[in-house]
Amino acid sequence: MSERIPKGAVVLLAALLLCAPPFYLDAFWLRIGLFSMAAAIGAVGLGLLTGTAGQLSLGHAFFLAVGAYGYTWLAGEPGPGLPTGLAALLAVLLAGAAGGLFSPVAGRVRGIYLGVATLALVFLGHHVLLTADSVTGGFNGRSVPPLSIGGFSFTDDDPGLVLLGVPFGAEERLWFLGLALLAGTWWTARGLLRGRPGRALAALRDSETAAAVMGVDIARHRSAAFVVSSMYAGLAGVLLALAFRRVVPDYFGLALSVDYLAMIVIGGLGSVAGAAAGAVFVTALPLLMTRYADQLPLVTAPGTTDGGVGPTEAARYLYGAAIVLILLYAPDGLRGLVRRVRTRLRPAPPAPAPATRPSASALRTKEPTP
Amino acid sequence: MSLRPTTGTTPGRLPAAPPPLRVRDVTVRFAGLTALDEVSFTVAPGSVHALIGPNGAGKSTCFNVLSGLYRPSSGQVLLGDETLTGRAPHRIAALGVARTFQNIVTTEGTVADNLMVGRHVLSRAGFASTALRLPRAVREQRAHLARAREIAELTGLAARFDTPVALLSYGDRKRVELARALCLEPRVLLLDEPVAGMNGAERARTAEVIDTVRAELGLSVLLVEHDMGLVMRLADEVTVLDFGRRIAHGTPDEVRRHPEVLRAYLGTPGEDAPGEDVPGEDTPARDAGTRGTTAQGTTAQGTTAQGTTAQGTALEEATDSEGDPV
């Protein structure tokens, strides 16, 4: 145990590393980072619902849309034109309320059946986004009003800002906003998972009967998990809208929901870090492949029509393959892989050797309990 | 309902004796099959009451009625003045009725995680306060963890408190279930075959634990068990079910000599061949179970089931010398 690095130091180091990119990388990379952070927030929410509570949801895109459009409408014109900070908060609550409205279904329907029920939400949401022109802007979507909190706006110049010789534009500023939101998500989700609600959810995932007999109100916990997951999705939606600067209905389709499922499966169900890692993988891969399409074999540049595989499709093939490989060889996802590598690197575990246990069972009856 | 004691000054709710658990004329029918037929019995406060009978007699059905998983077609279950029938399982748990399962049902995670699930009804922290790690939630969790650790000590799991359940031996996992049920600070504890599949040493140890918790926590125990040695050692009263009907009731000694019980377990003497055929008309599983019990019962004179190992004999002797525990 002594060679272990203290936890505080690891967190500090990670924070320093994550704060560095805006000073060294250009806007392209920062945007990839932003999308990844937004996706990570959404994936953590879905991980709570699917990984911990065992409830499949294909409606995550709907709640992302509620967050993104909710913010855009609340803060923009046409719309109430609220202060943007308040609009962002309300958008998250709106997504939670939307999840709450669905809770009569979410509380009663189990596992894969909930997945099918939530499918309806995605189609419904997409239809509404296309048709409710006055709120959503229809097919062309709406431009997103930039966030500004207490006179500090997350745009290129207002007020102009230069830190350590680096001009801080929208991406640089949003990077830190994203980091703060992701840290908040991480912290709250870990707290939830390790606390009373998380344990109750895991118990009802593993056996509904046993959980009920232990006093867990099944329907209430299922709906609550759905609401919390929707709120994380709403927050992710707000950040996505800010990063994209424009919201369009076609982004929030079924494919997005499936992407989020892919994230949590690749990352490892039931873990916050896994969900975040999966989100980075699934989000960054297509963007990187688009950027380097000309240098990659078998991939044609976007926009060419000679029948080759475009970078987006290629990325989909790749992560499809990644899912299959992970399900076959690392069912615990990236998290399980990391854990396995770590146990292999570490010499003999200091824990009481479990190998000697069975033969000691006779002795154990006399041994005083510490 | 007030918050029950959570910190470990006095374990549980020692002074107040648990209310009697009364089962009155409970009938359960599954599409034409009568699993329980007007069964009545009372678990006296602070006693160990055993429910025995051949496989398929309705013991587990009875447990499922008690914990709210099944609704009886007729009849009532009362805990003191509270009616349990018709309540949702989690509400029954909140009234202080905890149970274990015949096949182990634990949650992924460590022993501590599992025991903390048992503290669910006794704690308050909701989604918001847990997510924001409010001091109240953190403090509550710490207090409950301390109590869970005490219960782990009581049940002999202290050394494995932070071990993932998946790595534990069968007997230990079975004991995790018992400890988790105890974490509800129950007034009535329902144990569904607590020693099934255990070896002799593990059986003796679990019997000891049940004895200890009954003595220290002062709770009533309803026990379903095939191990007659354990039943005879622990039980104050025994109710025998067969084909969903109560066929006998009384102290272990009375029940052991009851002609109906002998018939149900051993078959009717003298008409071996037809007697063996009668259960054959029933489901095959039941038939096999009856035969199995018959064979064991015959070898051990109906006192110890499943083999007279060294531990089994020791257990029997212990029963004789100790007499009635508590």
Amino acid at residue number B242: D
Six-digit token string for B260: 């109906």
Amino acid at B80: G
Best of A92, A186, A206, A213 to disrupt the B interface (most B CBs within 10 Å) is: A213
Instruction: Give the pLDDT confidence of A55-76 residue by residue, as tens digits.
Output: 888 989 999 999 999 999 988 8
Closest alpha carbon within chain B to A224: B127
Q: Does position A360 have pLDDT exceeding 60, yes or no?
A: no
Q: Answer for the pair B241, B54: CB distance below 8 angstroms, yes or no.
A: no
pLDDT, tens digit (0-9, with 9 covering 90-100), for A95-131: 999 999 988 888 888 878 888 888 888 898 888 888 8
Which residues from A are below 8 Å from B6, CB to CB? none
Cβ distance B113 to A202 less than 8 Å, yes or no, reads yes
* Bridge partners, residue B179, by sequence: none
CB pairs under 8 A between A and B: 128
Asked if A214 lies within 8 A of B109 by C-beta distance, the reply is no
Residue B66 CB partners (closer than 8 Å, separation 6+): B21, B23, B77, B84, B92, B97, B99, B190, B222
Chain A residue with the nearest C-alpha to that of B131: A188
Cβ-count burial of A359 within 10 angstroms (0-12 exposed, 13-18 middle, 19+ buried)? Answer: exposed
What average pLDDT does chain A have?
81
The SS3 assignment for B192 reads: strand
The region, left, alpha or beta by phi > 0 then psi within -120 to 50, assigned to residue B14 is: alpha
Supply the DSSP string of B92-160, one letter for each residue: HHHTTEEE--SS----SSBHHHHHHHHTGGG----HHHHHTT-HHHHHHHHHHHHHHHHHHHHTT-GGG
For residue B121, list chain A residues with Cβ-Cβ distance below 8 A.
Answer: 214-215
User: Residues B278-319: pLDDT tens digits?
Assistant: 333 344 444 444 434 443 433 334 343 343 333 333 333 333
More confident residue, B175 or A370: B175
Residues A290-314 as b/e (b if ≥16 CB within 10 A, e otherwise) read beebeebeebbeeeeeeeeebbeeb
Task: Find the closest chain B residue to A217 by CA distance.
Answer: B90
The model's confidence at residue A89, banded by pLDDT at 50, 70 and 90, is very high
Q: Does B94 touch chain A (CB under 8 A)?
A: yes
What whole-number distance in Å separates Cα of residue B13 and Cα of residue A101? 41
Cβ within 8 Å of residue A57, ≥6 positions away: A46, A49, A50, A114, A115, A118, A226, A229, A257
Which residues in chain A touch residue B169, judged by CB atoms under 8 angstroms apart? 357-358, 361
Rounded average pLDDT over A173-183: 89
Strand B21-30 to strand B74-79: parallel, antiparallel, or no bridges (unpaired)? antiparallel
Rounded Cα gap, residues B183 and B94, in angstroms? 12
The ipTM value here is: 0.76
Q: Residue A195 and residue B125: Cβ atoms within 8 Å?
A: yes
Contact B131 A191 (CB under 8 A): yes
For A358-365, what is the mean pLDDT? 34
Percentage, residues of chain A above pLDDT 70: 87
| A341 compared with B297, residue with greater pLDDT | A341
Q: What pLDDT, on the 0 to 100 scale, is given for residue A348?
A: 52
CA distance, residue B293 to nearest chain A CA (Å): 27
**pLDDT-derived band at A229, boundaries 50, 70, 90:** very high
Q: What is the structure's pLDDT at B230?
A: 86
Question: Which pLDDT does position A302 carry in this prediction?
Answer: 63
Partner A contacted by B202 (CB < 8 A): yes
Contacts of A212 in chain B (CB under 8 A): 68-69, 88-90, 93
d(CA A318, CA A322): 6
In terms of Cα–Cα distance, which of B127, B47, B215 is closest to A99?
B127
* Gap from A269 CA to chain B (nearest CA, Å): 12
Q: What is the pLDDT of residues B34-91, one digit of tens each?
A: 888 888 999 988 889 999 888 888 888 899 999 999 989 888 898 988 888 889 999 9
CA B22 and chain centroid, separation: 16
Question: Confidence band (pLDDT; 50, 70, 90) for B268?
Answer: low
At A125-159, the pLDDT tens digits run: 888 888 888 878 778 778 888 887 777 777 777 66
Q: Which residue of B has its CA nearest to A185?
A: B131
Domains defined for chain B, CATH in brackets: 20-96+186-318 (3.40.50.300)
Cβ-Cβ contacts under 8 Å for A311 (sequence gap 6 or more): A286, A289, A290, A293, A296, A299, A300, A301, A302
Whether A197 and B125 lie within 8 Å, measured CB to CB: yes
DSSP A286: H
Instruction: Quickly list DSSP for A187-201.
Output: HHHHHHHHSHHHHHH
Chosen from B60, B120, B213, B309 to mutate, greatest number of chain A CBs within 10 A: B120
DSSP three-state, residue B15 = coil
Half-sphere exposure of A345 (CA within 13 A, CB side): 8
Residues of chain B neighbouring A214 (CB-CB closer than 8 A): 90, 93, 98, 117-118, 120-121, 180, 184
Which chain A residues have a beta carbon less than 8 Å from that of B156? 364, 369
Residue of B nearest to A202 (CA): B107
CB of A212 less than 8 A from some CB of B: yes
